[in-house]
Amino acid sequence: MRSRDHAVYVISVAAELAGMHPQTLRIYERRGLVSPARTQGGNRRYSDVDIDRLRRIQELAQEGMNLEGIRRVMALEAEVDQLRAEVEHLRHVAAGAIAEAERRAPRRDLVPLRQEITVFGGKRLGSR
């Protein structure tokens, strides 16, 4: 089974799958919205991830966004995805640290407490 980011579709097939004209894909590439892989001969090859990205571009365009707005929205969406992955990773790390702390602490309700009062000049009045 191939991965979703494996580029296999020629431009005509990618355009058909995305529901647009091949020239539109070339425009999107020139504007930096999509970056298809290239064969040794220089032909474009699109992956399933590229097709999803083209469909998202089309969706945003149908909502009235211009290409610069689409580029910015997609950059922000990518950043949100990255931040969500980082948050998930940090939650996992924190859960592991909590579990380790709970494993090491025999009783969480007992807390060592030391109190003392110091009078000006450094003289101790009482200690526990």
Q: Is residue 46, in this structure, part of any structural domain at all? A: yes
Q: Is residue 116, in this structure, part of any structural domain at all? A: no
43: containing domain: 11-104
Helix (H, G, I), strand (E, B) or coil at 106: coil
Of these ranges, 48-62, 97-111, 113-127, the one predicted with the greatest mean pLDDT is 48-62
Q: What pLDDT is attached to residue 3? A: 84
Do the Cβ atoms of 106 and 119 come closer than 8 Å? no
Q: What pLDDT is attached to residue 57? A: 96
CA 18 – CA 42 distance, rounded (Å): 21
Q: Are β-strands 44-45 and 37-38 bridged in parallel, bridged antiparallel, or unpaired?
A: antiparallel
Report the number of distinct structural domains present in the chain: 1
CATH number, domain at 60? Answer: 1.10.1660.10
Which strand (E) or helix (H) includes residue 23? helix 22-30
Helix ranges (H only) for 45-105 are 48-62, 67-104
Residues 29-87 pLDDT 10s: 999 999 999 999 999 999 999 999 999 999 999 999 999 999 999 999 999 999 999 99
